[in-house]
Amino acid sequence: MSEILSGLGQARAMLLYVLEYGRGVIPPVLLAGVIYLAVSTLRNWKRGLRVPPVRKGVMLLFVCYCAGMAALTLTPPNLWFVLEDGLRWGLWPEPEWWARLLGQGGFDFEPALASLLLGRESFRGWSDVIDVWNILLFVPMGFLPPLLWRKLASWRGFALGVGISLGIELLQPIIGRSCDIDDLLANAAGAAIGLGLCLLLGWLIPGFVAKAREKARPAQHAPAEGGTTGA
């Protein structure tokens, strides 16, 4: 019972941390969504195209997700808390603080599971082996692109997710974060889960998937096959 309560306490603490840390990504997510809607609406209006509502909604979700993920993974640690303190209370860090962030990251190429098996680390919980947050973070990356583009509903969608995760990990040491093999493995697992969910959705509700992949059509004509892809 004590182990269960301890696990629930850890899960609650992690959830509160994610919610607190996630507050910082709301502004860039909203900004990306507004910019996408404005640019895509103007572009399609000039071209005389009408984007199906389902596709436009899924594309908006994908754009907002990408903006949020970039804000979480490609910015210095605690940047959003620093900006919030600065904007609300005028508590800006010294210039040296910003300089120390750059290039202070590290590399960890030994998986946590290997460290546990080799006795280099003690087992403190499943979080030592399975990074749930990094798995969940990349489920949409495995789910949304194949939902929007049929060609990615295969190993290509999984390869895209792994490639994006690898790119993020290689860039993170430059901004004071670490390149961690566990993060890459967890992201790959998340992309695989997302791809599987997309394929399952296509089997259960093929009509919805077809609408998400539907091409833009001339606004003045009745719906017909063909057209130019719009977003």
pLDDT tens digit string along 158-182?
Answer: 999 999 999 999 998 888 788 888 8
Tell me the per-residue pLDDT of 15-74, one tens digit each, with 9 for 90 and over: 666 666 667 788 889 999 999 999 999 999 999 999 999 999 999 999 999 999 998 888
Going from N- to C-terminal start, the domains of the chain cover 1-101+215-231, 105-213
Nearest to 133 by CA among 6, 28, 16, 27: 16
143 CB burial (10 A radius; 0-12, 13-18, 19+):
buried
The pLDDT value given to residue 34: 97
Distances (CA, A) of 184 to 60, 74, 118, 125, 172: 26, 15, 21, 20, 12
Where helices occur in 74-180 by DSSP H, the ranges are 79-89, 95-101, 112-117, 132-148, 155-171
49 or 220, higher pLDDT? 49
Q: What is the mean pLDDT of residues 202-216?
A: 94
More confident of the two residues 129 and 14: 14
pLDDT reported for residue 10: 61
Q: Which residue has tokens 């979480």? A: 72
Asked if the model's pLDDT at residue 223 lies above 60, the reply is no
pLDDT tens for each residue of 123-162:
555 455 457 788 999 999 999 999 999 999 999 999 999 9
